[in-house]
Amino acid sequence: MPTPTPAPDRRPHRFAVWAPDAVTVEVEVDGGVHPMRRDPSRDGWWETGVPADPAASRYGFRLDGGPTRPDPRSPRQPDGPDGLSRLVDHAAFPWRTPERPGHGFDGAVLYELHVGTFSPEGTFDAALARLPHLAELGVTHVELMPVCSFPGRQGWGYDGVSPWSVHEPYGGPDGLKRFVDAAHGHGLGVVLDVVHNHLGPSGNHLPAFGPYFTDRHHTPWGAAVNLDAPGSDEVRAYLIDSALAWLRDYRIDGLRLDAVHALVDTRALPFLEQLAAAVDALARRSGRPLFLVGESDLNDPRLITPREAGGTGLAGQWSDDFHHALHATLTGERQGYYADFAARPLAALAKTLTGGFFHDGSWSSFRGRSHGRPLDALRTPMHRLLGYAQTHDQIGNRALGDRLAATLTPELLAAGAALVLLSPFTPMLFMGEEWGASTPWQYFTDHQDPALAQAVREGRRREFAEHGWRPDQIPDPQAESTFAASRLDWTEPQRGHHAALLEWYRLLLRLRGLATGAAEVRFDEAARWLTVRRGALTLGVNLADGPRELPLPEGRRVAAFPAGQATGPVLAPQATVIVHGAGEADPRDR
């Protein structure tokens, strides 16, 4: 006699939704439809209690007799953004690593990765199998590009439309939890990239429920998220509660906030300040050092100034000025925004290393106006800025998605690595950078709407046609080959110059603890050399075509790339990096 299937665990569940303009609201739960009533304690909210399986019931909401739509706060979308929502019992997950304080932002080294291309399988489980590599490398946090639900299987994730749910092809909610749990087991924190400034163009059901967007302001993606018009209290709560859910339910350690300069907000209490205060409150309650990092192109230090000093209170922000100066120095590129940095690239690099921002109120030819304001190092230390040579943006938004390794020698890649990892900034690497990955990282999409897919394809070709590219030269974002080409090749780290670069990154990350305090920079623009001294370490970089004598201090040489290529103060051509330690123990012996 077959064993009977156990009955589903059904218990009363409170369903609630904000729909201020609806006349009637119903909830569909596992095929049954139930009327909802207005919540007298919260304006615009509807609620009802229905028996449901807390880990499996499918549900959605009907407004004024219309179609069943997914929950705006859906914790899971097993059939994609247009399907029914599914309940998730977060308390039932069997965490293996005990919840503990973890690693905060101060002293962090971040490693940005895209789940879909980090491994051949493109899943959380496949990615967590590579965590020992990251732990051995010496980074402290893995920064995941967005993982909330979006249409199709593959994409960058910035067109997500369900900010509370996890993309099913990656492994869904439990897959993300397994990844975080494993990362914590390896001593690694996890940072998640979240997008509050817009939602994707397809699968977005929020406008049917309420004023989540406003025509008062416009962004590159259309109508702005409603942060200051009528109804904005609930929209702010929606985004803040989503952020807290990632930190609480998934034990994420920090959030990277996409393009915060596109959050148009005229209220006296800015949304970002309100969000930062809420995250700090959760950190105090949980005993975990949670943090926020913003992406902003405003060069406004108030974003990362403590709230008690009149700032917004974010822990850090991406620093494109340092990237642009470093990129112009290493590559000689002068197009677009690199024009501001390319006239005297070493001077630009020195300014960012010592002052944080290059544009600190200075003229920007790219913008046709002055830009930014100075960073006050007393209130806003330099480690509040993230320093990097490559990111998903700076690679993927190029016509071919080509990394620095496509055009630079291993020696120049090593120079860039040393300038990032021994800088006064919080360093960030992009996946595969540590071995000079030869695979590109291209712009890829999987839009299910044929018209939208064609519009994106044509838009990208049109964008680069203005810079001299033919349409047939631009990879098709919708092609499977574009996505496949962007996957890392994990056979590379064991081969040739890739292995040498990987060992160089590991050594630099061990040396990083000896590089303390502000940077003292000397350079010669014409002779193409630069030195950076921080604490016990001095870094020398020769970018010239021939040998150069650099003003290096007395002391014991502890590292060079390529190994053994330089002696004394003379650096041979492209034997570009020496780390000079004075009286310190060799970190390789630790």
Instruction: Please give the positions annotated as active site.
Output: 258, 295
Lookup: tokens for 470: 């033919």
DSSP 309-323: GTS---SEEE-HHHH
CA distance 127 to 442: 19
Rounded to the nearest 5°, which phi and psi values hold at 232?
-70, -20
Give first-to-last CA distance, the chain, whole Å. Answer: 64
What 546-549 contacts at long range (C-beta under 8 Å, 24+ apart), as own/partner pairs, is 546/573, 547/571, 547/572, 547/573
Where is 124: in which H helix or E strand?
Answer: helix 124-128
Lookup: tokens for 48: 């009802």
User: For residue 517, which amino acid is it?
Assistant: G
410 to each of 176, 346, 429, 433, how far by Cα in Å? 35, 20, 16, 11
Q: Are 517 and 510 in contact (CB under 8 A)?
A: no
Nearest to 424, CA basis, from 538, 514, 531, 517: 517
How is residue 111 annotated by DSSP? E
User: For residue 294, which amino acid is it?
Assistant: G
CA distance 428 to 307: 25
CA distance 214 to 232: 9
